[in-house]
Amino acid sequence: MSICADALPTVAAPLRRERVRPVLLLLVGLAGAFVFIEPSPYEIISLLTFTVFVAAGLSLNPTHIPLLLLVILYNVGFTLSLLQVLGEDKTGMWVAVSWYLGATALGFALVMADETSRRLRFLLGGVMIGAVVAAVCGIAGYFGVLADLFTRYGRARGTFNDPNVFGPFLVLPAVLCVQRSLAGSPGAILRNVAVLAVLLLGLFLSFSRGSWFMFAAAATIAVLLSLITTRATAERARIILLAGVGVVFVGALVVAALSIDEVGTLFRERASLTQSYDAGPLGRFGRHILGALLALDHPFGIGPRQFHLYFVEDPHNVYLNAFLSGGWLSGLAYALLVVITVGFGFATVLRPTPWQGAYIAIYSTFVAMVLLGFVIDSDHWRLFWMLLGLVWGLTIATRAQTPQKGNRLTPASGAGR
């Protein structure tokens, strides 16, 4: 009896930790939706969460090493380039934030390599709750409820500082709803469509062209991956049918929104593929060309936050920004990190696992954000580094997964639902 009693604390402690840690992940996902102040709640809660996980013990898999090295090289480039502009305003803080966000990517990769289904379910649950709250706030603000708080320049921004960050944050949960609808029961389809309607309306009212593209690209990739990973002809036909219905649904939602005069006016203005600030020698795309030429002449970069001193505006190209802010070291490390992540992810997202449905949504959103990076500065987006870390963590977990013979796991099973 005494032996059993003595053993209870030893057994109970890990159980308590495993109850607490998933809840912390839920809070991390939720906190990502509230970016009114700097540092945001996300920084504080993610720091607390990863500290708890490290204290409880995390396993560094050999597959984590490339991620660790590339993140270090990427930020070492910024640190070295910082020496050129050490006295400039906010440059030191910019580099510190880059180091921290890179560390969060490694943190997510480490955390998701074990207890994958449960931890992923809690994290994505927090992201979903936060996204719905942010979308509702953005919609309410657009139609006059606390408009000063939830809108900016006549565009919904929800619980974010910038509509161009608010919109992309809604993409992952929206694609999760799409993915769950493709493989769910009729009841699950209705629930996810209802949530999707809220998310898409918020995304639409952000009038962020980047987020519109990002959702369209991510949803398309998710549907294609679902078709590839589904062997049954009947299931493929079902996915195609539901995808077609989904396109009609989104179209109807957009038409309904455009029936409101002020929405239609702003949509026509924002829907133009080339805005006034995109065109011309010093427009967005002109700056890309001039910036690339400048990067060739500065192997150590020009220093963080210096591009606007040369060309008035920021580069709006995350790859170019890496080369100019951190030199060739940061630029090459970032490009290699993105290419390897996309490649590793594609090699493993096709394998059947309990979390394949969620993995498809995460990977599709990440690829869409990688493409969006050619026209926007996403290097300090919390969501980007979360997605990158999740792809690495799920890659490692998937490689370790050994499905039983004759027991094929469906794409939407486990955490994908």
| Within-domain flag for 337 | yes
Mode of pairing for the β-strands spanning 155-156 and 151-152: antiparallel
Q: What is the pLDDT of residues 351-383, one digit of tens each?
A: 999 999 999 999 999 999 999 999 999 999 999
pLDDT value at residue 416: 47
H or E stretch at 189: helix 186-205
With a pLDDT cut of 70, the percent of the chain lying above it is 88
Please report how many Cα atoms fall inside a 13 Å half-sphere around the Cα of residue 86, on the Cβ side.
Answer: 4
The answer to whether 172 and 233 are in contact (CB under 8 A) is no
pLDDT value at residue 16: 58
What value, to the nearest 5°, has the Cα angle with vertex 380 and ends 30 and 34?
25
Gap between the Cα atoms of 28 and 45, Å rounded: 6
| Within-domain flag for 11 | no
| Within-domain flag for 74 | yes
Contacts of 102 (CB under 8 A, 6+ apart): 71, 72, 74, 75, 385
CA 35 to chain CA centroid, Å, is: 15
pLDDT value at residue 279: 60
Gap between the Cα atoms of 249 and 245, Å rounded: 6
- Owning domain of residue 387: 16-416
Name the region of 312 (left: φ>0; alpha: ψ -120 to 50; beta: rest).
left
Contacts of 71 (CB under 8 A, 6+ apart): 102, 103, 105, 106, 337
pLDDT value at residue 174: 97
Residues of the chain with pLDDT under 70: 1-18, 271-283, 402-417
First to last CA, the chain: 43
pLDDT value at residue 258: 79
The answer to whether 395 and 348 are in contact (CB under 8 A) is yes
pLDDT value at residue 276: 56
pLDDT value at residue 182: 86
| Within-domain flag for 8 | no
pLDDT value at residue 274: 58
CA-nearest of 251, 136, 146 to 205 is: 136
27 burial (CB, 10 Å; 0-12 / 13-18 / 19+) is: buried
The answer to whether 98 and 377 are in contact (CB under 8 A) is no
Question: DSSP character for 409?
Answer: P
| Within-domain flag for 10 | no
| Within-domain flag for 244 | yes
From residue 233, give the alpha-carbon distance in Å to each of 227, 229, 323. 10, 11, 47
CA-based max dimension of the chain: 82
Q: What is the pLDDT of residues 98-141, one digit of tens each?
A: 999 999 999 999 999 889 999 999 999 999 999 999 999 999 99
pLDDT value at residue 185: 81
What is the total count of domains within the chain? 1
| Within-domain flag for 383 | yes
**Any long-range contacts for 258-262 (C-beta under 8 Å, 24+ apart)?**
262/154
The answer to whether 210 and 164 are in contact (CB under 8 A) is yes
pLDDT value at residue 288: 82
b/e per residue 149-181 (b: at least 16 CB within 10 A): ebbbeebbbbbbeebbbbbbbbbbbbbbbbbbb
| Within-domain flag for 4 | no
